[in-house]
Structure 1
Amino acid sequence: MSKKHIFQTEINQLLDLMIHSLYSNKEIFLRELISNASDALDKLNYLTLTDEKLKNLTFQPAITIHFDETKKTITLEDNGIGMNEEDLINHLGTIAKSGTKSFLSNLSGDKKKDSALIGQFGVGFYSAFMVADKIIVQTKKAGENQAFAWISDGKGEYEINPCTKESQGTQITLYLKDEDKHFASKWEIENIIKKYSDHIQFPIFLHYTQSKFEGEGENKKETKEDKVDQVNNAKAIWKISKNELKDEDYKEFYKSFSHDNSDPLSWVHTKVEGNLEYTTLFFIPKNAPFDLYRVDYQSGVKLYVKRVFITDDDKELLPQYLRFVKGIIDSEDLPLNVSREILQQNKILANIKSASTKKILSEIANLAKDEKTYKDFYDNFGKVLKEGLYSDYENKDKILELLRFHTNTQDSMISLKTYKDSMPSDQKSIYYLLGENLDLLKASPLLEKYAKKGYSVLLLNEEVDSFVMPNVSEYEKTPLKDASSKNALEELGLDSIDENTQKDFESLCNTIKEITKDQIKDVKLSNTLQSPVALIGEEENAMMANLMRQMGQPVPPTQKILEININHPIIQKLKEVQDKATLEDYIVLLLDSAALLEKGSIQNAKNFTQKLFALLEKQL
C-alpha cells in the first residue's frame, strides 16, 4: 500500500534552492550519489566481518551505473547496507543534521554566497533533483526480507511502497530534465567519475551498449553489444604513495569525501611503520563547517582498520579543538570488531591521536608562513584553536605560537612572538585586556597608562578568552598579566602622588567613597590618565573564576578601584562644587561613564540618562 509523506520544511528549502540553479556545476550530483553508495558499501563491509547474522552473506562490493539516452535516465546501484522504510523516512525525508534550521536561516538570497554555504552543509542525495524531475529509489536492507520503493518529483511530497528486489542494496533511477539529458551518455558519466570519484575504493562499473559494424557497402550490418567497463581506479587514496598523487587527486578526493565544493586549504598525508602501523590523511578546510560551534557537531574524521570502515561519528579521534579537520585514520593494528567503548580507552588509538595532533598543528604552522592564507584560516578557526589552551596541555606551547591577537598599537593581528620581539627593554610582562567588544577595549582609559610607557597591550574580545587566558601564565618565560590588575599596574611604576596632593584631594575622595560605597572598593589618584576616571581591576583568583565558568556557574563580580585623574579639568572643578546633590550627580555620571568604557553597559541606564538630562538642562 502506497504511503504519501511530506518533506521536512528544511528539505523543501534546500530543494527549492538547488532546483532553481543554485549550483553552477550540476555534474556534482553524480559525485554525491557515488559517495553515498560508497558509504553504504563501507557499512556493510564492516558488518560482514563483525555481525554473526551477516558473516555468511556473499558480498563483492561494487557500484554499477546504467544509462538510457532514449528514456533520458541514469540508474546507479550499490549492493551495500540498503534501507528499510524507517531509514527511507529518516534519510530521504528528513535532515537529521543538527543546526539545520539555524544554518538555513543564514542563507542570504545571494546565489553565489548561498552556494558556498550549501557546499559546507553537504547536500548529498538531494543534489540529484538539480538534474532530475523524478527519482525512484528501490532498496532492501541487508538481513531483511522486504524491499521498498521511494518515489518523488521533489515538489514537497514523496511516497513509499513495498516492492520486489532480489539482493540487498540501493538502486536510484533519475528521470532527467530535458536540459540535463546530456548526462545520460558514456562520455559524460566517465568524465565525471574520472574527475570526482576516481579514488572511491570500490569498483565503479559502467554498463553501456556499443554499436559494431560488420561487412561493407550493402552488406554492412550494425550489431549492438552490451559492455561493462570499470571506470575508476578503485584504490583508497590514503594507501597510495604521496609521490604518485597530484594536488588535484587530493582536492577531488576531499570534495567527494567531505561533500564540500571548495578546495581544501591544505592537507597532510602520513604513513607510519614500526611499533605501530597506520596511515592518516587530514584536510584543513577553507571554510568553517556550519555546525562548528554546536555541541552536537558532526565529526569529520573516518576510522578504518585495514581499509575496512569502522566509524565516522567518534569525536575522540582528534581533540575537540581540531573538530574542523576532516580526514581518514586507517590502522593496521586495531581489531576489526573494536567497540566504541574500547576505542575511547585504546592505547593504540591514543598514540595515533597524539601523533596526528602534532602533525596537524605543524601543518597549521606551515600555513602561518603565508600571511594572507593564514588570515583566511584564522578568521575561520582561530577562536576554536584557542580552546586547546585549556584542553591540550601537551601542545599548549605549539598552540600559543599559532594564535594571533589584536593590540592597541597595531592595525593587524600579531603573534606572541612578534609582541615579545617588539617589547621595550624595561617591559617585564606581556599585558592583555579582556572585554566583549574590540572598539570598547581600544577606547579603554587604562591603555593611556601603558601608552605612556610605550607598552603594547593585547586586546582580547572573544568569549573563549576569559576561559583560556587564566590557563596561560607565561610565554617563553615572560609572564602574561591582565592589564587591569593591581599587580600589572604596580609593575608600571607610575602614579607617584606626593603628600600635599593627597591632602588636596582627600575631601573629594572621601565624598566619592561615600556616594559609591556599594559599587567600588576604593578611590585612588592618578597623574597618568588622560580620561577623567577609569576602573581598575583588583587581583582575583583567576583559576577559580575560570573553573566556575566551565561549570556554567556565574562568576561573582569583583569590586574595582576608581582612579581619578588629578590633572583633568572635570576632576579639578569637582573639588569646587559645594552643592552635595549636584556633586553626587556628577560622581554617578563619571562612575557610569567609566563602566560604559569598560563593559559597554551600565546597571541603571534610566538613572544615568535622567541625571545627564538634568545636568544638561541646568547648564543650558
Structure 2
Amino acid sequence: MSKKHTFQTEINQLLDLMIHSLYSNKEIFLRELISNASDALDKLNYLALTDSKLKDLQFQPRIDLSFDEKKKTLTIQDNGIGMTQEELISHLGTIAKSGTKSFLSSLSGDKKKDSALIGQFGVGFYSAFMVADKVVVQTKKAGEKQAHTWVSDGKGEYEISECLKDSQGTQITLYLKDEDANFASRWEIENIVKKYSEHIPFPIYLSYTQSKFEGEGEEKKEIKEDKVEQINNAKAIWKMSKNELKDEDYKEFYKSFAHDNTEPMRWVHTKVEGTLEYTTLFFIPSVAPFDLYRVDYKSGVKLYVKRVFITDDDKELLPQYLRFVRGVIDSEDLPLNVSREILQQNKVLANIRAASVKKILSEIESIAQDDGAYQKFYTQFGKVLKEGLYGDYENKERLLNLLRFPTSKHSQSISLKTYKENMPTDQKSIYYMIGENLELLKASPVLEKYAKKGYEVLLMSDEVDGFVIPSVGEYDKLPLKDASAAETLKELGEDSVSQEVQKSFEKLIATFKEALGDQVKDVVLSASLDSPVALVGDEQNAMMANLMRQMGQEPPIAKKTMELNSTHPILEQLKDKEDKELISNTAHLLYASAKLLESGTIEDAKDFAHRLNQTILKTL
C-alpha cells in the first residue's frame, strides 16, 4: 500500500529551480547521481569491515547504468548502504540543514552562479527532475529485510510503498522528458561518465544491447548481444601518480567530488612515505561555499584509511580557518574502526593535519605571488584566514604575511610587509584602526593626526578583526598599535596648544563639559586636527564585549575624550559667543556628528534633529 507525502516547502522551491533548468548544462544530473551512488558505496564499504552485523555481507562495490531507448528510461543502480523508509523521507522529502532558507535567499537568479550553489548545497538528487518527468527510487538498507519504492513527478508530492528487492542498495529510474531522450543512449552516457566521473573510485558498468550481422545477402541475420562494459578506470585519483594525471583530470574530479560547477583555483597533491604513510589531495575552490560563515558548515575533507572511506563529517581534519578547502586524506596507518573520539586525540592524524596545513599555506603563498590571482582568492577567503591568527600560533607569521588591508593612504589593500617598507624612518610602530565600516574609517578625524606625521594607518572593518588583531601583538619585531587608543596617541605626540589659546578656550570647554556630561571622558584642545572635533580613546575589546552579550550582560560603554580643533572656524567663532543654549546645542551636534563618523549611527536621532532645527533657526 502506497502513502502520499508532501515535499517540504524548500524542496518545492528547489524543484521549481531544477525543472526550469537552473543548471546551464543538464548533463551533470548524471554526475550528481553517480556521486551519490559512490557515497553510498563508501559508507557500506566501511561498515562491511567494521560492523559485526554486516561481517557476512558479500559486497563487491559497483555502480550499474542501463537504458531503454524505446521507453526513454535511464537507470542508475548501486549496491551500497541503501535507505530505510524513514531515510527516504528525510533524504528525499526534506532538507535537514538549518541553512536552507539562507541558501535559498542567496540565489541570485544568475543560472550559472546559482547552479554552483545548488551543487554545493548537496541537493544533487533533485537535478534528476531537469531531465525526467518521473523518478522512481527502489532501495533496501543493508542488513534490513524490507525494501521501499519512492515515486514522484516533482510537482509537490511523492509516494512511498513497500516493494521486493533482492540485494541492498539503491536503484533510480528516470523517465526522461521527450526533449531529453538523448540521455537514453550508450554514447551519451559513456561521454558524460568519461567527462565527469572517470575517477569515481568504484567501477561503473554500462549495460547495453549491441547488434551484429552474420552471413551475406538474403542469409544475412541481425544478432543482438547483451553487453556489460566498465566505462571508467575506477582508480582513486589521489592514489595515482601525479605523472599519470593531467590538469583536466584534477578539475573534473574536483567538480564531481565538491559538487561544484566551477573549476578549482589550485590543488595540492602529496604522497608521503616513511615513518608515516599517507596521501592527500586538497583543492582551493574559486568560489566560497555558501555556508562558509555558518556555525553548522559542512566539512569539505573526506578521511580514508587504505582507500576505505571513514568520515566526511570531522571538522578536526583541518583547522577551522581552512574550512573552504575541499579534498581527501588517505592514511595507511590509522585503524579502520577508528572512532571520532580517537580521531581527535590521534597523533598520526595530528601529524598529517600539521603537514597538510603547511602544504596548503604554501600553495596560498604561491597564489600570492600573482596580485591579480591573489585578489580573487582574498576576496573569497581573506576573512577566514584571519581567524587562524587566534588559534594557529605555529603558523602565525605565515598568516600575517598573507593578510591584506586597505589603508589611510592606499585604496588598494596592501600586505604588512609593504606597509613596513613604506614606513618613514622615524616611525616605530604599525598603526591600525578597527571599525564596522571602511568608508567611516577613512573619514575618521583621528587619521588626520597620523597624516600630519606622514604615517599610514591600516583600516580594518571585517567583523573578525576586532577579535584577532588585538591579540597579534607584533609583526616582524614591530608592535601593532590601535591608532585611536589614548596611550598610542600620547606616544604619537603632537604640537602643543599655546597657553594663550588654551586660556581663550577655557570658557567654551567648560560649557562643552557641562552640556555633554558623562557622555565623554573629557574635553580638550588639539593642534593636530583638520576636522572641528574628534573622539579619541581606547576602543572597546570586541571579544570581551561579545562574550558579555552571550552571557546576557550589556558591556559597559567606553567613554572617549572629545578633542576640539583650536584652529577650526566653527570653534573659533563659538568661543566668543555668550548664547549658552547655542553652545550647548552645538556641543551635542558636534558630538553626534563625531559618533556618526565613528559608527554610522546616532544614539538619539530625535534629540539630534531637534537641536539641529533649533540651531538652524537661530542662524536665520
Which interval holds the TM-score relative to the shorter structure? over 0.9
Alpha-carbon shift at residue 554 of structure 1 (Å)? 4.3
Any gaps of 5 or more consecutive residues in structure 1? none
1:98 aligns with 2:98: yes
SS at 2:288's partner residue? coil
Cα distance change of structure 1 residues 276 and 397 upon mapping to structure 2, 3 Å threshold: same
TM-score, with structure 2 as normaliser: 0.97
**Is the contact made by 1:467 and 1:549 (CA closer than 8 Å) also made in structure 2?**
no
Give the structure 2 partner of residue 334 of structure 1: 334
Give the structure 2 partner of residue 175 of structure 1: 175
Matched AA of 1:464: V
State the alpha-carbon separation in 1 of the partners of residues 548 and 237 from structure 2.
46
SS at 2:572's partner residue? helix
Alpha-carbon shift at residue 543 of structure 1 (Å)? 7.8
**Is the contact made by 1:119 and 1:262 (CA closer than 8 Å) also made in structure 2?**
no
Alpha-carbon shift at residue 409 of structure 1 (Å)? 0.9
**Is the contact made by 1:484 and 1:536 (CA closer than 8 Å) also made in structure 2?**
yes
Alpha-carbon shift at residue 96 of structure 1 (Å)? 1.7
Deviation readout 1:227-252 (Å, 9 max, x if unpaired): 11111011100000111111110111
Q: What are the residue-to-residue correspondences of 1:416-431 with 2, within 5 Å?
A: 416-431=416-431
**Is the contact made by 1:470 and 1:546 (CA closer than 8 Å) also made in structure 2?**
no
Give the structure 2 partner of residue 503 of structure 1: 503
Cα distance change of structure 1 residues 109 and 539 upon mapping to structure 2, 3 Å threshold: closer
Give the structure 1 partner of residue 309 of structure 2: 309
Deviation readout 1:142-162 (Å, 9 max, x if unpaired): 000000001111111110010
**Is the contact made by 1:122 and 1:260 (CA closer than 8 Å) also made in structure 2?**
no
**Is the contact made by 1:120 and 1:287 (CA closer than 8 Å) also made in structure 2?**
no
State the alpha-carbon separation in 2 of the partners of residues 181 and 170 from structure 1.
23
Alpha-carbon shift at residue 541 of structure 1 (Å)? 7.0
**Is the contact made by 2:136 and 2:172 (CA closer than 8 Å) also made in structure 1?**
yes
The size of the alignment, in residue pairs, is: 620
Matched AA of 2:336: L
Alpha-carbon shift at residue 551 of structure 1 (Å)? 6.9
**Is the contact made by 2:24 and 2:111 (CA closer than 8 Å) also made in structure 1?**
no
Deviating above 6 A after TM superposition, structure 1's stretches of 4 or more consecutive aligned residues are 539-543, 549-552
Q: What are the residue-to-residue correspondences of 1:211-226 with 2, within 5 Å?
A: 211-226=211-226
Cα distance change of structure 1 residues 538 and 30 upon mapping to structure 2, 3 Å threshold: closer
Give the structure 2 partner of residue 285 of structure 1: 285
Deviates more, 1:493-502 or 1:482-491: 493-502
Q: What are the residue-to-residue correspondences of 1:401-480 with 2, within 5 Å?
A: 401-480=401-480
Matched AA of 1:590: L
Alpha-carbon shift at residue 34 of structure 1 (Å)? 0.7
Give the structure 1 partner of residue 395 of structure 2: 395
Give the structure 1 partner of residue 244 of structure 2: 244
**Is the contact made by 1:81 and 1:141 (CA closer than 8 Å) also made in structure 2?**
yes
Matched AA of 1:531: S
State the alpha-carbon separation in 2 of the partners of residues 327 and 503 from structure 1.
69
SS at 2:518's partner residue? coil
Alpha-carbon shift at residue 597 of structure 1 (Å)? 1.2
1:16 aligns with 2:16: yes
Alpha-carbon shift at residue 499 of structure 1 (Å)? 2.4
Alpha-carbon shift at residue 515 of structure 1 (Å)? 2.1
Cα distance change of structure 1 residues 409 and 115 upon mapping to structure 2, 3 Å threshold: same
State the alpha-carbon separation in 1 of the partners of residues 131 and 558 from structure 2.
62
SS at 2:558's partner residue? coil
SS at 1:406's partner residue? coil
1:48 aligns with 2:48: yes
Any gaps of 5 or more consecutive residues in structure 2? none
State the alpha-carbon separation in 1 of the partners of residues 358 and 585 from structure 2.
58
State the alpha-carbon separation in 2 of the partners of residues 497 and 473 from structure 1.
33
SS at 1:226's partner residue? strand
**Is the contact made by 1:88 and 1:150 (CA closer than 8 Å) also made in structure 2?**
yes
State the alpha-carbon separation in 2 of the partners of residues 419 and 555 from structure 1.
34
Q: What are the residue-to-residue correspondences of 1:48-127 with 2, within 5 Å?
A: 48-127=48-127
> Aligned Cα RMSD in Å?
1.6
Matched AA of 1:378: Y
**Is the contact made by 1:432 and 1:459 (CA closer than 8 Å) also made in structure 2?**
yes
Give the structure 1 partner of residue 574 of structure 2: 574
Matched AA of 2:365: A
**Is the contact made by 1:530 and 1:568 (CA closer than 8 Å) also made in structure 2?**
yes
Alpha-carbon shift at residue 586 of structure 1 (Å)? 1.2
State the alpha-carbon separation in 1 of the partners of residues 607 and 233 from structure 2.
74
1:146 aligns with 2:146: yes
State the alpha-carbon separation in 1 of the partners of residues 425 and 257 from structure 2.
52
Give the structure 1 partner of residue 512 of structure 2: 512
Deviation readout 1:8-61 (Å, 9 max, x if unpaired): 111111111111122221110111111111110110010011000001100011
**Is the contact made by 1:265 and 1:286 (CA closer than 8 Å) also made in structure 2?**
yes
State the alpha-carbon separation in 1 of the partners of residues 291 and 506 from structure 2.
57
Cα distance change of structure 1 residues 216 and 540 upon mapping to structure 2, 3 Å threshold: closer
Matched AA of 1:101: K
State the alpha-carbon separation in 1 of the partners of residues 585 and 269 from structure 2.
67
Alpha-carbon shift at residue 577 of structure 1 (Å)? 1.3
Cα distance change of structure 1 residues 551 and 379 upon mapping to structure 2, 3 Å threshold: farther
Q: What are the residue-to-residue correspondences of 1:196-275 with 2, within 5 Å?
A: 196-275=196-275
**Is the contact made by 1:487 and 1:539 (CA closer than 8 Å) also made in structure 2?**
no
Matched AA of 2:369: K
Give the structure 2 partner of residue 362 of structure 1: 362
* Identity in percent: 74
State the alpha-carbon separation in 2 of the partners of residues 538 and 323 from structure 1.
33
Cα distance change of structure 1 residues 108 and 546 upon mapping to structure 2, 3 Å threshold: closer
1:486 aligns with 2:486: yes
Cα distance change of structure 1 residues 460 and 550 upon mapping to structure 2, 3 Å threshold: farther
Alpha-carbon shift at residue 548 of structure 1 (Å)? 5.0
State the alpha-carbon separation in 2 of the partners of residues 6 and 545 from structure 1.
45
Alpha-carbon shift at residue 538 of structure 1 (Å)? 3.4
State the alpha-carbon separation in 1 of the partners of residues 309 and 414 from structure 2.
42
SS at 1:23's partner residue? coil
Alpha-carbon shift at residue 119 of structure 1 (Å)? 3.7
SS at 2:103's partner residue? helix
Cα distance change of structure 1 residues 139 and 413 upon mapping to structure 2, 3 Å threshold: same
Cα distance change of structure 1 residues 576 and 543 upon mapping to structure 2, 3 Å threshold: same
Alpha-carbon shift at residue 89 of structure 1 (Å)? 0.4
Alpha-carbon shift at residue 605 of structure 1 (Å)? 1.3
SS at 1:480's partner residue? strand
State the alpha-carbon separation in 2 of the partners of residues 329 and 551 from structure 1.
39
Deviation readout 1:204-223 (Å, 9 max, x if unpaired): 11111111110111111110
SS at 1:136's partner residue? strand
Deviation readout 1:484-508 (Å, 9 max, x if unpaired): 0122212322132222222222222
State the alpha-carbon separation in 1 of the partners of residues 67 and 538 from structure 2.
75
SS at 2:517's partner residue? coil
Deviation readout 1:439-476 (Å, 9 max, x if unpaired): 11111111111111111111111111110111111110
TM-score, with structure 1 as normaliser: 0.97
**Is the contact made by 2:136 and 2:152 (CA closer than 8 Å) also made in structure 1?**
yes
Matched AA of 2:531: S
State the alpha-carbon separation in 1 of the partners of residues 532 and 369 from structure 2.
44
Cα distance change of structure 1 residues 372 and 541 upon mapping to structure 2, 3 Å threshold: closer
Give the structure 1 partner of residue 2 of structure 2: 2
State the alpha-carbon separation in 1 of the partners of residues 601 and 200 from structure 2.
56
Alpha-carbon shift at residue 519 of structure 1 (Å)? 1.0
Matched AA of 2:62: A
Alpha-carbon shift at residue 592 of structure 1 (Å)? 1.2
Cα distance change of structure 1 residues 550 and 463 upon mapping to structure 2, 3 Å threshold: farther
State the alpha-carbon separation in 1 of the partners of residues 613 and 23 from structure 2.
56
Cα distance change of structure 1 residues 23 and 607 upon mapping to structure 2, 3 Å threshold: same
Give the structure 2 partner of residue 560 of structure 1: 560
Give the structure 1 partner of residue 608 of structure 2: 608
State the alpha-carbon separation in 2 of the partners of residues 212 and 444 from structure 1.
82
Deviation readout 1:152-178 (Å, 9 max, x if unpaired): 111111100100000001111111111
State the alpha-carbon separation in 1 of the partners of residues 477 and 601 from structure 2.
36
Give the structure 2 partner of residue 323 of structure 1: 323
SS at 1:377's partner residue? helix
State the alpha-carbon separation in 1 of the partners of residues 239 and 473 from structure 2.
43
**Is the contact made by 1:133 and 1:153 (CA closer than 8 Å) also made in structure 2?**
yes
